[in-house]
Structure 1
Amino acid sequence: SGVPQGSVLGPLLFLLYINNVVDIVNPPVKIKLFADDCLIYAPVTCANDQIVINDCLDDFQTWCDKWEMKINYSKTTYTHITTKKHVLPFTYSIGPNYLPQVCAFKYLGVHITNDLKWRAHVENVCCASYRKLRFLRAKLPNATKDVKLLAYKTFVRPVLEYACAAWSPHQKDLIDKLERIQRLSARFICSKYKRTDSVTEMLKLSGLESLEIRRQKQRLKVFFQILHGQIKIDRTIYVHPPHKLSSRINHDAAVRPFGARTDVFRKSFFPDVIEAWNKLPRHIVENSDVKKFECALDVYFAEQ
């Protein structure tokens, strides 16, 4: 569209240019935009639902033709996200271009599979963070402990925790894979590589909390922000008062738990975090400020 790359106004002008693309989508189809990434999705229960989605794709093509924009077909795919063994067959297309079906795709830095399991993402995260750790070891062999700790927190740990509220794993082997990177980082920070050196002590001296606990706290923080309208998610879909409130067990801010039949659903964000939320003490959930809530969480988990 003639917008200079790297300019200050470029992103704003692009968003203005594509702003009305959401108008082509009608329920039950939904669209999510982030920069130049576009995600179109809808629940499929019958063949007609698939036709509705494909019609939406054709409308998207018409919109692109009108505004002289080109779809990158090499990066356009579709997938069926389901745990069912048999799905309704359908090949989606945009105009004359048939879209390839994939079992996994990367969206906004997160690897999503069609069964909503996070093994592939965790393995990719571990590989990426380990490469960064090796780079730091090569570039900072003689740095002080404080510098190494800062480097780990700046370059390695953010990779391990990016969007972790969404994908936090529950399988022990995946949890251990992530913790292993931090344990290797603790050796790097303390410059101790002997097998007899206690990594647990290094983690304690470095003030490094378990990544699993950090993910639990991050989920609770995100849920707190959803409850208080600080994140734009319609909480009325997921958050309901409990059928029965017990003053001996629950606090006034308790939320109705989900009934889940599979681990995939049970350990997904809302069912998992609601269970953890209902177990929190009253003085924590009654906070209205997110910073105070985080501080109270830190104290609570430190005492566990």
Structure 2
Amino acid sequence: MFADDLIVYRGIRGTQDEVQFQEDLDKLVSWAELWGMKFNASKCKVMRISRKRDPGHPSYQMLGTTLEEVTSTQYLGIHIQNNLKWDVQTHYAVGKATRVLNFLMRNFHNCTKKIKEQLYNSMVKPHLQYASAAWNPGMVKNKDLLEKVQRRAARFVMGDFHRTSSVTEMLQQISWETIEEGRIKTRTRTLQKIIMNRLAIDGSKYFKPKPSRSRRGHENQLVLHETPYTDIMKQSFFAEAIAIWNRFPVVPVPDDDDDSKSLTSQKPQLNF
């Protein structure tokens, strides 16, 4: 719950859960009235996340208004879809980044390479990487859309828009990592913080130490409690981050609390 953002969720396994969920909403309305506040029912939505062909469509009400059912919703700047894919979020991030980049290209084309690069890193790239530990573009087509924005930015920084020019060489000259590489680092560092109890997330609910270590890799490899079978599960945070974590030859940790620094080959004390 935040000042202007609240999510209520419940696992629905039958009619009783549907009744209970409506009671949850009624309690929220009563709580708001007690404290002199009022929900705007027209802005409240319902979204169902299910792999069932027919999950059912019971209606829910607040303040006498039947809540609209949607297939995606925005929460803290991230668009969540009912099929747990990230198409909407990818297009949203690409759209915001592209609009800012177009503005920079129109108004700062005569600036130096250094200033252009600073503008990109401070005003465009954050839109492509925002909350990248929480969401994953997943499909190759979505990853390519994100990379395409950065490739246009490389042309802007280098001042070279010739069709015959190699954008790959430009990226090498300015030493930019790909958006995917940045996302992998962010997810790995987030997993490190969870393992080292720096975040209020109980990792033991999701993974445990690997019972038998493989010949390759470090001694602190992990395994999920549930084996991911679907693509959605394989691309989720813990599944992807742990797969990357286990591939390192040694346990990678930041030099200190500054996440911007590169990873080093230290071995932290893991707490489970």
Q: Give TM-score scaled by structure 1 length.
A: 0.82
**Code of the aligned partner of 1:256:** V
- Give the match for residue 245 of structure 2: 277
CA distance change for structure 1 residues 297 and 123 in 2, over 3 Å: closer, same or farther? farther
**Code of the aligned partner of 1:75:** K
- Give the match for residue 220 of structure 2: 253
1:181 aligns with 2:149: yes
How far the C-alpha of 1:179 sits from its partner, in A, is 0.4
1:190 aligns with 2:158: yes
Percent same amino acid at aligned positions? 33
Greater Cα shift, 223-232 or 237-246: 237-246
Distance, in Å, in 2 between the alignment partners of 1:296 and 1:272 is: 18
Greater RCO (Cα-Cα under 8 Å, separation 6 or more): 2
Distance, in Å, in 2 between the alignment partners of 1:293 and 1:226 is: 17
Distance, in Å, in 2 between the alignment partners of 1:260 and 1:188 is: 41
Count of residue pairs brought into register by the alignment: 264
Distance, in Å, in 2 between the alignment partners of 1:203 and 1:115 is: 35
Q: Contact 2:216–2:249 at 8 Å: present in 1 too?
A: no
- Give the match for residue 301 of structure 1: none
Distance, in Å, in 2 between the alignment partners of 1:142 and 1:292 is: 33
Secondary structure of the structure 2 residue equivalent to 1:111: strand
Distance, in Å, in 1 between the alignment partners of 2:28 and 2:251 is: 50
Instruction: Write the deviation string for residues 241-273 of structure 1: whole angstroms up to 9, x where unpaired.
Output: 223233x23423211134112101111111111
1:51 aligns with 2:19: yes
Distance, in Å, in 2 between the alignment partners of 1:44 and 1:283 is: 40
How far the C-alpha of 1:293 sits from its partner, in A, is 9.7
More helix by share: 1
CA distance change for structure 1 residues 293 and 242 in 2, over 3 Å: closer, same or farther? farther
Unaligned runs of at least 5 residues, structure 1: 1-32, 299-304
CA distance change for structure 1 residues 233 and 73 in 2, over 3 Å: closer, same or farther? same
Greater Cα shift, 270-279 or 177-186: 270-279
Greater Cα shift, 253-262 or 113-122: 253-262
Distance, in Å, in 2 between the alignment partners of 1:210 and 1:123 is: 18
Q: Contact 1:92–1:98 at 8 Å: present in 2 too?
A: yes
- Give the match for residue 193 of structure 2: 225
Distance, in Å, in 2 between the alignment partners of 1:293 and 1:181 is: 22
Secondary structure of the structure 1 residue equivalent to 2:207: coil
Unaligned runs of at least 5 residues, structure 2: 266-272
Q: Contact 1:284–1:293 at 8 Å: present in 2 too?
A: no
**Code of the aligned partner of 2:110:** N
- Give the match for residue 63 of structure 1: 31
Distance, in Å, in 1 between the alignment partners of 2:127 and 2:108 is: 19
Q: Contact 2:72–2:82 at 8 Å: present in 1 too?
A: yes
Q: Contact 2:72–2:79 at 8 Å: present in 1 too?
A: yes
Q: Contact 1:46–1:88 at 8 Å: present in 2 too?
A: no
Distance, in Å, in 2 between the alignment partners of 1:168 and 1:238 is: 18
- Give the match for residue 135 of structure 1: 103
Instruction: Write the deviation string for residues 165-203 of structure 1: whole angstroms up to 9, x where unpaired.
Output: 121222111111110000000000011000011111111
How far the C-alpha of 1:239 sits from its partner, in A, is 2.2
Secondary structure of the structure 1 residue equivalent to 2:6: strand
Distance, in Å, in 2 between the alignment partners of 1:236 and 1:294 is: 27
Distance, in Å, in 2 between the alignment partners of 1:256 and 1:293 is: 27
Q: Contact 1:93–1:99 at 8 Å: present in 2 too?
A: yes
Kindly report the root-mean-square deviation, in angstroms, between the aligned alpha carbons of the 2 structures: 1.9
